[in-house]
Amino acid sequence: MKKYIRFIIVLVATALVMGACDKDWLDPAPENQLVTSDSTFADPANATRFVNACYANLLTWEQSAFSWMGVASITSDDADKGSDPGDLGADKDQMDAITYTPTTISVTEVWKGNFQGVSNCNQALANVPKFDIPQDLKNRLMAEAKFLRAYYYFNLVRTYGAVPVLDQVIDADNPADINKANTRVPVEEVYAFIEQNLNEAIAVLPVSYPAPELGRATKGAAIALLAKVSMYQKKWQQAFDLTNQIINGEVGNYGLVPDYATIWREVGENSIESLFEIQARAGIPIAAVQQYCSPQGIRGGKFSFVGNNGRDTSAFTGWGFNTPSLDLFNSYEPGDLRRKATIMSIGDTLFDNVIIDTAANPRYNYKAYVSKYEESWTGNDDRTNKNVRLLRMGEIYLINAEAANALGNTAKALASLNAVRNRAGLGDTQAAGHEELRQAIWRERRFELAMEYDRFYDLVRQGRAGQVLRAHGKNFVDGKNELFPIPQSEIYASGGKLTQNPGY
């Protein structure tokens, strides 16, 4: 067996992502131990470890941390670069202004992170069938890998458009494989590949798991991702039917939690709101997203406490990037409970009775805040217990509303939209007519999903990114900035076979 396979088993499995309430099974395998014999396929547990490597990629810096914030959030009108004016975060000033180039670090790291995830999934799909394990388990593990491969490709196609579609492990000695890895295929083919993966996963994945495996991909998660993928392709009937399955309880027990603010707290992990989230655990051994919270933490803060309670004057702090914009703050309707649950401002009292007395920036992302007092805390600012929510019911209702409206089902569109609004403390929408209702649904997506890495992509798919972002002072060029550039390093590595996106 090649050294690469042993590397996956020994090292990549050190950051298992799924978890139970106590997340015990995030314990990694020993690191840096000499492998004296190839016993990979003799141990049935290694089949699961191959798939765990697919999840583990979600924890990496390139996949879910600083560069992803730059690409998917700081580019939008919901967020500013933040931090101090002189601290550029390598390139976050470029992401904020939309002046990035093919050599910009964030653009390159997001490409690498997602393609590493694809590679891990391909390794799992190639090797799981070789194990002597029950066929049902084998099928389920492969379905999980297909779900995750679809997720990574969804990020890639939204970000870069046409990309190489790799459906198998690439043999570096095979010219045909190398050509495949360096050939971009049309966007429609990428989406078809994503749908194929998700449909195959849906046919196999279970509705739920026993507690020790809570957090693995379920049938509901795959249906939710396929519904979102369908929305991006304007496949409205498919999006409508899929979201109805989830809302009607056909594929699991899901629903809107009563208190929106609790979704991102430790008490809100893996709740009925959640269809899929990145599981995280700090401490020793570590299995948490590398620096998801700290780049967004309160910078230069000074704090006090309600009633003091014998606490010191510290709270969770960080670098101060990806800060909610004033435009976002001012756009909420009066009485919308989501603003306080999304944005921390100087002078606010947080849920753990921390008061922000002063800080370097006026606003911070509350959804990335970790309490040192009311949640599990191990003293590790860079790797915390914070799970990252990727698919949840608030969005499912809004996909359902948008699809229903596109299909002319106004009553259903209003019902789904108002379910989200009412949870936010707002009355029913007064929008009437197809276009007015569509605009209302788009507005609702902004506030429901604020600071959750969807706003830029939403504006692009809605065809109004240039209009909105230029009004926000960003240098968005129509016909160019709908897509990010293909990293120049990848073009060089391909010998020029990978082509660049227009305008770059």
Listed residue (169, 440, 390, 125) closest to 270, CA to CA = 390
The secondary element (H helix, E strand) that includes residue 337 is helix 337-342
- Last residue in a domain, options 385, 417, 437: 385
Query: What stretch of H or E contains 304?
Result: strand 302-305
Which percentage of the chain shows pLDDT scores above 90? 86
Distance CA 321, CA 433 (A): 40
Task: Give the pLDDT band of residue 378 (cuts 50, 70, 90).
Answer: confident
* Same domain, residue pair 349 and 457: no
Q: Are residues 360 and 303 in the same domain?
A: yes
The last residue of one of the domains, among 385, 414, 449, is 385
Q: Are residues 167 and 269 in the same domain?
A: no
Residue 37 corresponds to which tokens in the numbers above?
């014999």
What is residue 309's predicted lDDT score, i.e. its pLDDT? 66
For the chain, how far is it from start to end, CA to CA, in angstroms? 42
Read off the pLDDT band of 24 (50, 70, 90): low
Co-location of 63 and 89 in the same domain: yes
Asked if 389 and 302 count as a contact pair (C-beta separation under 8 A), the reply is no
**Residue linked to tokens 């936010």:** 424
Question: What pLDDT was estimated at residue 311?
Answer: 66
Rounded to the nearest 10°, the torsion over CA 202, 203, 204, 208 is 50
- Percent of the chain at pLDDT > 70 equals 91
135 occurs within a structural domain = yes
Distance CA 13, CA 124 (A): 12
Query: 27: which strand partners?
Result: none
Residues 344 and 436 in one domain: no
pLDDT of residue 36: 43
pLDDT of residue 23: 54
Same-domain pairing of 268 and 246: yes
pLDDT of residue 33: 44
- Alpha helices (H) along 175-253: 175-181, 187-202, 219-232, 236-247
447 lies in the same domain as 482: no
Residue pair 110/62 in contact (Cβ under 8 Å)? The answer is yes
Indicate whether 34 and 128 sit together in one domain.
yes
The total number of structural domains that make up the chain: 3
Q: Is the pLDDT of residue 205 over 90?
A: yes
- Identify the pLDDT of residue 4: 32
Instruction: Please tell me the distance from the alpha carbon of residue 162 to that of residue 187, in angstroms, as a whole number.
Output: 5
Domain that holds residue 265: 220-276+391-462
Number of H-type helices and E-type strands within the chain: 19, 8
Please calculate the CA angle 118-228-55 and round it to the nearest 5 degrees.
Answer: 30
Q: Which of 101, 189, 188, 198 is nearest to 152 (CA)?
A: 198
The whole-number average pLDDT for the span 399-419 is: 98
What burial class does residue 387 get, using C-beta atoms within 10 Å of its C-beta: 0-12 exposed, 13-18 middle, 19+ buried?
Answer: buried
The answer to whether 439 touches 464, Cβ cutoff 8 Å, is no
Whether 300 is in a domain gets the answer: yes
Bridge partners of 183?
Answer: none
Is there a single domain that holds both residue 195 and residue 330? no
Question: Is 303 in the same domain as 261?
Answer: no
Mean pLDDT of the region 245-262 = 98
Q: Are residues 10 and 84 in the same domain?
A: yes
CA distance 233 to 269: 30
Q: Is 372 domain-assigned?
A: no
- Mean pLDDT across the chain: 92
3-state helix, strand, coil in the chain (%, to 5): 50, 10, 45
Predicted confidence band of residue 383 (pLDDT cuts 50, 70, 90): confident
Average pLDDT (259-279) is: 97
Residues 195-223 have a mean pLDDT of 97
Domain containing 437 — which CATH number? 1.25.40.390
Is 282 a member of any domain?
A: no
Q: Is residue 371 part of a domain?
A: no
Q: Could you tell me if residue 433 is inside a domain?
A: yes
pLDDT at res. 284: 65
Overall residue count recorded for the chain in this entry: 504
Average pLDDT over residues 473-486: 98
- pLDDT band at residue 281 under the 50/70/90 scheme: confident
Name the nearest CA neighbour of 301 among 344, 266, 352. 344
Band of pLDDT at residue 472, cut at 50, 70 and 90:
very high
Return the ∠ at Cα 202 (arms to 219 and 454), rounded to 5°.
70
Whole-angstrom distance, CA of residue 93 vs CA of residue 359: 20
Conformation bin of residue 496: beta by default, left when phi > 0, alpha when psi is -120 to 50 = left
Q: Does any domain span residue 213? A: no
Same domain, 330 and 231: no
C-alpha span between 202 and 252 (Å, rounded)? 13
373 domain-assigned? no
